[in-house]
A and B are shown apart, each in its own frame.
Chain A
């Protein structure tokens, strides 16, 4: 019996292969010759159909064998297996392969393997679990630092921004501009270089550098204290 195996469900390739196969046959139907323009006939041809459905049939049977299909699908396949010889043949074939794969032996390393491993691990200790040496406080500290920095920068920016609007504002510095155009204009007129040359930024950067160095120091200390593994 001939095996018909196709790679991916590449439709174009399957059609080309099917066409080659069919035109090679002595009794290839006239409407499927090279000159034929009626390509839709090709899809409807029973031979091509059977070739294109072979892959799904195999996939469905594997699902059935692996116990991965739904009860409805299972009964549908059982019906097909009871009535269809092709399905029975393919099922038998896949079952044989399944059994072969399940019962085949694993490869074995050399006889000395266990001894070698045990000699090797004698030089080591079990390292402490990751969660025990990753200090959560350090992570929380980093998180708090970034949040504080972001909040600080935002607070600074908001404090520099004048929220009073021209039209529509009846007074008070807390009134929020409703006119979007006005806000856009104000944003455009902001002198950004003013903020980035500010002492606040320098202070924040200094804090960030100091905090970074402190964390690096903590990390290196912890690494030093961790037992050699």
Chain B
């Protein structure tokens, strides 16, 4: 019965006092939020804490959701601000991909990753692991486009960018993803190339 409710309908009823219905939204979007948060931090515990904070914030500001965009789009803005706030608190810096320090951080991350070498060799695990090696922005962009089912226009709106800029960024993100895959998972990449 509840499954048939749309997000807007659920939100309307929550605002009328049916707090328990929020569980449906949490169930529906927890993986989406958790995956996006995981693009910012490797630590699952941190990711879980941030994700929980995201839903609490989303609940408290639910009245501000006007239904002009998809709920997932609105939720992403909460994810982004929560991640940035969390990282600031942790005194971590988010720098652009051009920054040399970021490169060295990523290199460290990659070497750590190689040391642990992924046990699961499935293609999906490989893609997830390769995305994890990307910068947070690249990882989020790919996740939003493929898993969040956001159009370039929607992503542009929430990131404050022109859709064409988003398109270029997406091309580059996929390109970097291929580089990471080729570097770390050459066998699986050969399978992909072979189809």
Question: Which residues of A approach B to under 8 Å, CB–CB?
Answer: 1, 3, 5, 7-8, 55, 58-59, 62-63, 68, 92-93, 96-97, 100-110, 113-114, 116-118, 120-122, 124-130, 132, 229
Contacts and interface: CB of A to CB of B under 8 A. Distances in A.
Contact of A108 (B22, B34, B124): B34
Interface string B20-36: 10110011001110110
Contacts of B177: 97
Contacts of A103: 124
Contact of B14 (A126, A127, A128, A229): A126
B181 to A, nearest CB: 8
10 contacts: A1-B190, A3-B178, A62-B170, A100-B123, A104-B147, A107-B38, A113-B51, A114-B27, A120-B56, A121-B55
B162 interface: no
Interface string B34-67: 1100100000000110011001100111111000
Contacts of A55: 175
Which of A106, A125, A127, A132 has the largest count of B CB atoms less than 10 A from its CB? A106
B19 interface: yes
Interface of B: 14-15, 19-20, 22-23, 26-27, 30-32, 34-35, 38, 47-48, 51-52, 55-56, 59-64, 123-124, 127-128, 142, 146-147, 152, 167, 170-172, 174-179, 182, 189-190, 192-193, 195
B147 A106 contact: yes
Nearest to A229: B60
Nearest to B189: A3
5 smallest A-B Cβ distances: which pairs? A106-B31, A129-B63, A106-B35, A109-B34, A101-B146
B30 to A, nearest CB: 6
Contacts of A120: 52, 55-56
B21 to A, nearest CB: 11
Given A100-B124, A107-B128, A117-B52, A126 B30 contact: no
